[in-house]
């Protein structure tokens, strides 16, 4: 299975409850190179606040194993791409019986689809966009492959990709913009919100942020307010 986000969590949970990968020769391989963000928690239901910052694939596999201790699952933190074919090599692909795609970008979908066509492996292709979802079953020599379909071009870049694995020029631009906003826009807005209504701000901070994240955010607000005071006195 490629991807351990919203769909990947549901798949690995279903595998555990259905007994997939629990037989003598069974094994589930799960890979995702992203880490868990607090913004993932509202839709990736295997993750909790204490998992923030940890690997998605490793955490999802650990939680799924808690549902069914007979589940044999191996977690990877490696991107599935041409540059990682030393890991996902010919023997690896040939050992698979079935592939599930649960990734968040078209480039990765096309690559996995091409690998499945080459090695003649059945593929369950799926994806989500807001409240919409799609699935496609690809059977070698019997159905249309994903690469033959016509998906619209992507306009948005997943934030987890930008933070943890920026590999295109567009990713680096977005990464720089995100850091600029965090340093000069978001913190100033947080400080303004805090001074206008501290009670409401702190309540929202407790609800939406981990304790360590809240502490860091409050420290940054304190620095901005001290700087403002020193500027006012001067």
User: Tens of pLDDT along 56-69?
Assistant: 999 999 999 999 99
CA distance 55 to 32: 8
**Cβ–Cβ contacts within 10 Å for residue 100, how many?**
21
Partners of 30 in the β-ladder: 75
Q: Which helix (H) or strand (E) holds 220?
A: helix 211-233
The two three-digit tokens of residue 218, written as one number: 């409050």
CATH of domain 6-154: 3.40.50.720
CA distance 128 to 125: 11
Q: Which residues are catalytic?
A: 160
123-129 and 99-101 beta bridge pairing: parallel
pLDDT of residue 187: 77
User: Tens of pLDDT along 16-36?
Assistant: 999 999 999 999 999 999 999
pLDDT of residue 153: 56
**Cβ–Cβ contacts within 10 Å for residue 36, how many?**
26
> CATH 3.40.50.720 occupies which residues in the chain?
6-154
CA distance 141 to 138: 9
- What letter would DSSP give residue 54? S
**Cβ–Cβ contacts within 10 Å for residue 82, how many?**
9
Left, alpha or beta for 216 (phi > 0: left; psi -120 to 50: alpha)? alpha
The dihedral built from the CA positions of residue 188, 191, 197 and 203, taken in this order, carries a sign that is positive
Residue 211 CB contacts under 8 Å (≥ 6 apart), including other chains: none
Q: Which residues of the chain have pLDDT under 70?
A: 130, 150-168, 228-234
């Amino acid at each position: 299975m490629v991807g351990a986000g919203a769909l990947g969590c549901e798949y690995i949970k279903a595998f555990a409850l259905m007994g997939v990968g629990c037989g003598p020769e069974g094994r589930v391989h799960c890979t995702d190179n992203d880490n868990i963000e607090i913004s993932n928690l509202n839709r990736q239901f295997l993750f909790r606040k204490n998992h923030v910052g940890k690997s998605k694939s490793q955490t999802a596999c650990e939680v799924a194993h808690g549902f069914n201790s007979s589940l044999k699952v191996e977690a990877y933190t490696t991107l599935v791409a041409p540059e990682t074919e030393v890991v996902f090599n010919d023997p690896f692909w040939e050992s698979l019986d079935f592939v599930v795609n649960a990734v968040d970008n078209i480039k990765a979908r096309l690559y996995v689809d091409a690998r499945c066509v080459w090695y003649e492996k059945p593929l369950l292709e799926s994806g989500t966009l807001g409240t919409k979802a799609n699935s496609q079953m690809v059977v070698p020599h019997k159905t249309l492959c994903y690469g033959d379909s016509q998906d619209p071009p992507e306009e948005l870049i997943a934030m987890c990709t930008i933070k943890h694995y920026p590999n295109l020029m567009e990713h680096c631009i977005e990464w720089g913009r995100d850091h600029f906003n965090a340093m000069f826009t978001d913190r100033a807005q947080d400080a303004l919100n805090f001074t206008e209504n501290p009670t409401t701000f702190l309540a929202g901070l407790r609800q939406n942020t981990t304790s360590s994240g809240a502490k860091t955010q409050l420290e940054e607000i304190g620095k901005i307010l001290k700087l403002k005071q020193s500027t006012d006195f001067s």
